[in-house]
């Protein structure tokens, strides 16, 4: 039976969202947490973008490294796949491999709806040109050493299905690994996306990615319906998610909610299951980190990780849940890694920032287990990196970030190096 895999796009769709962004260190932490959750692939960024490529190269290097002796087990980038996003044109493929020579996994994106072909290219390209551009880009990516290639049909939900099949078959003929069905505007509903994804799986014969947006409030429901259609059509499904649902406009399908919906919703998991080792116990950690890093509060009623997801007050509910949690809860808070009290200092606090000195810094680091410095020079070097990280994120680093910098100073240095116009 085909399975459902998770392909998270927080570091691409999430960071390209208006008003929102992440520092390169924060993007790295997201990749590390996604690996901990068992996500199949992180779309970790834009290989053609100048300010991005050092971060991409550094993450690929980290993925190749053996875990440092004594480093905590979660601090690694294996076995998650790191995939870049580029436009499906040969020039982007060439630039991507020039800037990020070690990139192995790519998604190549091009618009397929008549609305976008006419609206964006203004008569300069037609349907045939789109397929020609895409197949040439796929060929170029294979020639440069790609190991997997997803082909993205932007605005697939407003694309004529027969043309989409023709587009998918052309991708398949050029050995593309997957077809991404982008419901770019959140236009689908579970009934329409089930039908289109099943037809694509059957008629094209490639695994299908579901890339859904929440403009009509159905991103998660559509993702499940599309995945079901794909599996019923005989292919693996790859649901695109983002942490806390952060993404363009009304956002994308939320990672934690998708996992919960697949695993816990009525009868779904009887036939449709997550592939790989998905581990929800890191859900709380990644959601809270993304909340802090994006500076966007998790809604109080967010599934699983919202403040009220396990809160009960009214008499009948409180009485019922105390007698047996299953009376009013579908799943336990422990499964999501919740339950530990959060310690908040309310007295004197020393934080590490861009103007910190060694004394305050040593005090902060002294509280973190798994970290000790061999010498004052080493501590000074790490402090310098922490200062730069703070310049880029404008907020005190969390403990995991400090630990990461202390353990992988050379990787951190690459993440923090930005050279405009070079």
Tell me whether residue 168 or residue 186 sits nearer to Zn ion (CB atom): 186
Residues 6 or more apart in contact with residue 400 via CB below 8 angstroms: 29, 75, 289
Site for Zn ion in 81-110 (CB under 5 A): none
Instruction: At 387, give phi and psi (nearest 5°).
Output: -60, -45
Tell me whether residue 13 or residue 236 sits nearer to Zn ion (CB atom): 13
Tell me whether residue 158 or residue 338 sits nearer to Zn ion (CB atom): 158
Tell me whether residue 225 or residue 412 sits nearer to Zn ion (CB atom): 225
Using the rule CB under 5 A, give the single segment among 8-16, 52-60, 166-174, 371-379 that binds Zn ion.
Answer: 8-16
Tell me whether residue 101 or residue 217 sits nearer to Zn ion (CB atom): 217
Using the rule CB under 5 A, give the single segment among 5-13, 133-141, 224-232, 328-336 that binds Zn ion.
Answer: 5-13
Smallest separation, CB 213 to Zn ion (Å):
6
Smallest separation, CB 83 to Zn ion (Å):
14
Phi-psi region of 155 (alpha: psi -120 to 50; beta: other; left: phi over 0): left
Smallest separation, CB 32 to Zn ion (Å):
23
Contact 138, 171 (CB under 8 A): yes
Tell me whether residue 106 or residue 411 sits nearer to Zn ion (CB atom): 106
Using the rule CB under 5 A, give the single segment among 6-14, 143-151, 282-290, 327-335 that binds Zn ion.
Answer: 6-14
Tell me whether residue 13 or residue 43 sits nearer to Zn ion (CB atom): 13
Smallest separation, CB 154 to Zn ion (Å):
9
Tell me whether residue 48 or residue 356 sits nearer to Zn ion (CB atom): 48
How many binding residues for Zn ion (CB under 5 A)? 1
Site for Zn ion in 12-51 (CB under 5 A): 13
Smallest separation, CB 196 to Zn ion (Å):
17
Smallest separation, CB 248 to Zn ion (Å):
5
Using the rule CB under 5 A, give the single segment among 7-15, 107-115, 128-136, 266-274 that binds Zn ion.
Answer: 7-15
Using the rule CB under 5 A, give the single segment among 10-18, 68-76, 154-162, 222-230 that binds Zn ion.
Answer: 10-18
Site for Zn ion in 171-230 (CB under 5 A): none
Smallest separation, CB 58 to Zn ion (Å):
25
Smallest separation, CB 212 to Zn ion (Å):
8
**Nearest to Zn ion by Cβ — which residue?**
13
Contact 245, 301 (CB under 8 A): no
Q: Which residues bind Zn ion (CB under 5 A)?
A: 13
């Amino acid at each position: 039976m085909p399975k459902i895999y998770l392909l998270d796009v927080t570091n691409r769709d999430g960071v390209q969202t208006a008003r929102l962004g992440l520092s390169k260190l924060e993007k790295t932490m997201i990749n590390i947490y996604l690996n901990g959750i068992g996500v199949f692939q992180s779309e970790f960024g834009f290989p053609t973008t100048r300010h991005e490529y050092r971060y991409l190269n550094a993450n690929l290097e980290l993925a190749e490294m053996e875990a440092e002796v004594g480093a905590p087990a979660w601090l690694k980038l294996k076995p998650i796949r790191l995939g870049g996003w580029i436009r499906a044109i040969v020039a982007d493929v060439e630039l991507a491999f020039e800037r990020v020579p070690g990139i192995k996994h790519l998604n190549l994106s091009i618009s397929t709806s008549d609305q976008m072909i006419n609206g964006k290219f203004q008569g300069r390209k037609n349907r045939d040109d789109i397929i020609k551009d895409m197949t040439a880009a796929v060929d170029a990516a294979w020639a440069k050493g790609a190991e997997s290639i997803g082909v993205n049909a932007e605005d697939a939900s407003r694309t004529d299905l027969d043309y989409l099949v023709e587009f998918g078959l052309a991708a398949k003929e050029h050995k593309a690994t997957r077809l991404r069905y982008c419901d770019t505007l959140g236009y689908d509903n579970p009934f329409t996306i089930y039908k289109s994804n099943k037809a694509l799986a059957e008629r094209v014969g490639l695994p299908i990615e579901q890339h859904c947006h929440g403009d009509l409030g159905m991103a998660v429901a559509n993702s499940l319906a599309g995945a079901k259609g794909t599996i019923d059509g005989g292919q693996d499904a790859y649901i695109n998610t983002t942490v806390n649902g952060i993404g363009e406009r009304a956002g994308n399908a939320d990672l934690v909610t998708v996992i919960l919906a697949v695993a816990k919703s009525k009868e779904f998991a009887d036939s449709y299951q997550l592939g790989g080792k998905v581990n929800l116990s890191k859900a709380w950690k990644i959601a809270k980190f993304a909340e802090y890093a994006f500076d966007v509060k998790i809604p109080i009623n967010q599934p699983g990780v919202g403040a009220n997801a396990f809160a009960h007050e009214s008499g009948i509910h409180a009485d019922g849940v105390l007698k047996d949690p299953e009376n009013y809860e579908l799943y336990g808070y422990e499964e999501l890694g919740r339950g530990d009290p959060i310690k908040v200092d309310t007295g004197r606090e020393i934080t590490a920032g861009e103007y910190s000195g060694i004394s305050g810094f040593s005090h902060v680091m002294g509280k973190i287990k798994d970290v000790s410095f061999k010498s004052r020079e080493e501590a000074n070097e790490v402090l310098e990196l922490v200062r730069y990280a703070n310049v880029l994120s404008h907020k005190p680093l969390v403990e995991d970030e400090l630990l990461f910098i202390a353990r992988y100073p050379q990787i951190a240095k690459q993440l923090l190096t930005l050279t405009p116009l070079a």
